Structure 1
Amino acid sequence: MGIIAWIILGLVAGLVARMLVPGKDSQGLIITFVLGVAGALLGGFVATQVLHVAGIQGFFNLSTWVCAILGAAVLLLGYNLIIGRRSSGRTGRAGRR
């Protein structure tokens, strides 16, 4: 699958992952798209290299979409955890002064 197809897949996967991940959505659409593309690439890499799934070759293949959405969801969860800690840490320090 070409890089343009992975980018398109990542954009859609980022939106789907954003709907699936619980919690407050503090990021905008640009961050969602970037995390979706990176998650699709990460999911595709993990599926082919680590899990040895050979079906990650077609754009319309279900395993391709599942791997891309799971990769995007993992990155989105990680992003929310990191950003959530930063924002709560700043609020906590300002309240103590």
Structure 2
Amino acid sequence: MHLIWTIIVGFVVGLIAKFLMPGRDPGGFIITVLLGIAGSLVAGWIGQHLHFYAPGQPAGFIASILGAILLLILYRVIFRPNTNA
């Protein structure tokens, strides 16, 4: 049940991050879910290293969105379409 809840929250976080970042993204549903889940993990990791969260404590919802936005920026930089052709 924890995995299903993580996927649902990751999807919501990914959708909010994509909504807050204008422009087209080369990803679909799966990328949205993965960005949300990974954003939450990144936010928790950064928060633990900055002593915002205790070890093993998950990131908050807003921090998860910020983590997903960070990953979305990186995703756009890495996978942007080549327009020089």
TM over 0.5, shorter chain: yes
Q: Are 1:57 and 1:64, in contact at CA under 8 Å, matched by a contact in 2?
A: no
Moved over 3 A (4+): 2-8, 54-58
Give the drift of 1:80.
0.9
Which one has the bigger helix percentage? 1
1:25-72 per-residue CA deviation (whole Å, 9 max, x = no partner) reads 221111111111011111111112x221137947xxxx7011100011
Q: How many residues align?
A: 83
Question: Cα RMSD over matched residues?
Answer: 2.4
User: Structure 2 stretches of 5 or more lacking a match?
Assistant: none
TM-score w.r.t. the length of structure 1 is 0.70
TM-score w.r.t. the length of structure 2 is 0.78
Q: Are 1:35 and 1:72, in contact at CA under 8 Å, matched by a contact in 2?
A: yes
Aligned residue number for residue 76 of structure 1? 72
1:31 corresponds to 2:31: yes
1:65 corresponds to 2:57: no
Give SS of 1:25's match: coil
Q: Percent identity?
A: 41
User: Structure 1 stretches of 5 or more lacking a match?
Assistant: none
